[in-house]
Structure 1
Amino acid sequence: MDSLLMKTTVHTRIASVLALFSIVAVSQSAVAQTAPDNKGQASTVVGFGAGYVPEYDGAQKRRAIPVLFGEYRNGEGFFVSSMRGIGMEKQAGEFGVSAALSYRGGRKDQRSNSSLFGSDDLKGMGDIPGSAVANLEVSTLLAGQVKLYAGANLALSNRDNGNSFKFGVSRLIFQTSADQVGLDFSAEYADRKFNQTYFGVTAQQSQNSGYRAYSPKAGLNQMSASIAWNHVIDSRWSVRTMAGVTQLTGDAANSPIVKNKVNPMLISTVNYRF
C-alpha cells in the first residue's frame, strides 16, 4: 500500500510539473520581454501555485491543479526548464531562436490523480501515451514591443501522436518597475496524426465508448488568447498570474468528444529567483 501511494504521489507531482509546460506556454511569450537581462549570469527560478483548467481540450468539466515548476539558465543560452525542456536559446539583435528536448504529456480515459489530463467522459477511448518531443521556436521583435513567433512541437517517440505548429504575436501593454502586463494571441496547426490522436475516434474507440467514429484532417485546430500579469515583490520574489481562453476550430471543434469549444483557464504562481 505504501509503495502504491508513493507511486501515485510521484506521478501526481510529475503531472503538476508538466502542467506548467502545457498551460503557461501560452502566456510565456506575452511576458518574455519583461524578464531581467541575465546575459552571462546563471539564474534559477522555482515556483509553486495553482491552476483551474479543462480536464482535456474540449472538456465540459474543469479541475483545480497544483502547479510546480523550475528553470535554470546558465546565462549563455543553455536552459533546463519544466516548461520548455532542456535546450539552447540564442538572440541576435531582434531575432531569437531556441531548440529543446521536452515531453508532451498523455491523456487518460478516466479522471485520475495520477494524470493531469483525463476525464470520465472519455471512458472507452483508451489512454494516449506521452511523447518525447522537440520544441523549436523562432521569433522577432518589432519596434522593441511586438513579438512575432513561430514554433513546432515534434513527436520523437510515439510518433503516431503527431506534430503541432504554433504561430503567435505578443505585446507588453503595461510596465512599471514592479508590474508588467502582456497580451498573447496564437493559432495552432496540427497534422492529421495529431488531430486523430486527440480529437479523432477510431472504429474500435467508437465501439468501446459510444462516440461516433470520426477522422479529422490536418488543419488549424485552435486559437488562443491570454493576458499575463507579473508582479515583482523584490529582487527574489514575484507573482505571475495568467488568464486565457482557447477556441477550438476546424475539424477539432467538430469532434464528438468535444463538449465545449471554448476552454477558459486560470493559473497563478509565486516564484523565487536564486
Structure 2
Amino acid sequence: MKKLTALALVMMMQGVFCQSALAQQENRAMVPLPSVDDFTRGNDGWAFALGAGIEYETAYEGSDEFGFEVQPAGAIQWRSGDNIFYFAGEALGWRGLRAETWLLEALIGFDEGREENDSDDGRLDGLGDTEEGFELVLQARRAFSDDWRYWLVSRLVAGDNGNLGLFGVGRRFGDKTDGSGSEINLVAVFHDSKYANTGFGITAQQSLASGLNETRLSGGLRSVGVDYNYRHNINENWQIFAEALYEHFSSEVRSSPIARSNYEAEIGIGFIYIF
C-alpha cells in the first residue's frame, strides 16, 4: 500500500512539473528579455495589451527638477514565426529573431521635443521650444548563447534633430522563458553636433532672450549609463513591470548652462493587462 501511495505521489508530481513546463513553453517569448514586450504567448496572430505606469523623472534632459508623470503602456502586436510587428504608443515597428542569437529591430517613433514650460522654475525661459519630429530607430542585440544570458546591444536614432548612437552590454537574471525576470544594461551614448546642440546648445538669439551664455557643442561622447528592467506575470492576464535608469553626462554636456545637473534619472512602475 505504501509503495502504491509513493508511486501515485511521484506520478502526480511529474504531472504537475510537466504541465508547468508545457505552460512555460506555450508562453515562451520570442526572446526572454523583460525589456522586450511580447504579448503573443508564443503564438502567431494578433495580441493586445493595455496598461499604464507612473514615472518619477527629471523634467527635461539636464534638469535638476523632478516630477511624476503617468504614461500609457501596452501594444498591439502581430506575430508571424520569429517576427513581430507592433504599434505601441507613438511608435510603429518590427522586431525579428535571427539564428536564435540576433534580435533586430526597426521602428518609427515621435520625438515630442522640449517646451519652455517643462521647467517649473523658469530655467528654460527664453530658449523657446525645440521642434517635434519623427525618428528612425534601428537596433541590434547579439546574444552570446541562445538562452540570452549575456548580449551586446547597439542602437542608432536618426531624425531631424540629429543622430544618436548607443553601444552596450547586458545581462539577464532568472531562468523563465516567458519574458519575466530582470535584466541590466551598461551603455555608452554618442551624439553628433546637431543632436547635442538641439538638447544643450544655446544660440546667440537664445542667449539674448534667456541671459544664458551662448553655447556650441561638438559631437562625441554624450553619456554613460545603466538601466534596469523588471517584469513579473501576476497571472495569465496581468503583468507588473518596473524600470530604473541613470545617465551620467560627459564633461562637455555638463558645461552647458542647460545642464543644471550632471545626470538624468528616472524610475517607474506599472501594470499591463493582456487580452
Whether the 8 Å contact between 1:246 and 1:263 is mirrored in structure 2 is yes
The structural deviation recorded for 1:30 is 6.0
Unpaired runs of at least 5, structure 1: 1-28, 113-117
Whether the 8 Å contact between 2:248 and 2:263 is mirrored in structure 1 is yes
The CA distance in 1 between the partners of 2:36 and 2:259, in whole Å, is 35
- Matching residue within 119, 142, 150 for 1:146: 150
- Matching residue within 79, 84, 90 for 2:86: 79
The structure having more radius of gyration, on CA atoms, is 2
Q: What are the residue-to-residue correspondences of 1:170-185 with 2, within 5 Å?
A: 170-175=170-175, 180-185=181-186
Partner of 1:58: 62
Partner of 1:25: none
The CA distance in 1 between the partners of 2:243 and 2:127, in whole Å, is 31
AA partner of residue 253 (structure 1): R
Whether the 8 Å contact between 1:220 and 1:250 is mirrored in structure 2 is no
Q: What are the residue-to-residue correspondences of 1:124-143 with 2, within 5 Å?
A: 124-143=126-145
Partner of 2:47: 43
Count, aligned residues: 236
Whether the 8 Å contact between 1:47 and 1:70 is mirrored in structure 2 is yes
The CA distance in 2 between the partners of 1:34 and 1:88, in whole Å, is 12
The CA distance in 2 between the partners of 1:141 and 1:39, in whole Å, is 23
Structure with more of its chain in helix, by fraction:
1
Matched, 1:89 2:91: no
AA partner of residue 140 (structure 1): R
Deviations 1:54-77 (A, max 9, x none): 011110111110111231221122
AA partner of residue 103 (structure 1): F
Whether the 8 Å contact between 2:74 and 2:272 is mirrored in structure 1 is no
Partner of 1:108: 115
- TM-score (normalizing by structure 1): 0.79
The CA distance in 2 between the partners of 1:72 and 1:170, in whole Å, is 26
The CA distance in 2 between the partners of 1:59 and 1:258, in whole Å, is 6
Partner of 2:201: 200
Matched, 1:169 2:169: yes
Unpaired runs of at least 5, structure 2: 1-31
The structural deviation recorded for 1:168 is 2.1
The CA distance in 2 between the partners of 1:242 and 1:205, in whole Å, is 35
3-state secondary structure, aligned to 1:185 = strand
Matched, 1:211 2:217: no
The structural deviation recorded for 1:123 is 0.5
Partner of 1:189: 190
The CA distance in 2 between the partners of 1:206 and 1:219, in whole Å, is 24
The CA distance in 1 between the partners of 2:121 and 2:86, in whole Å, is 33
The CA distance in 2 between the partners of 1:119 and 1:101, in whole Å, is 33
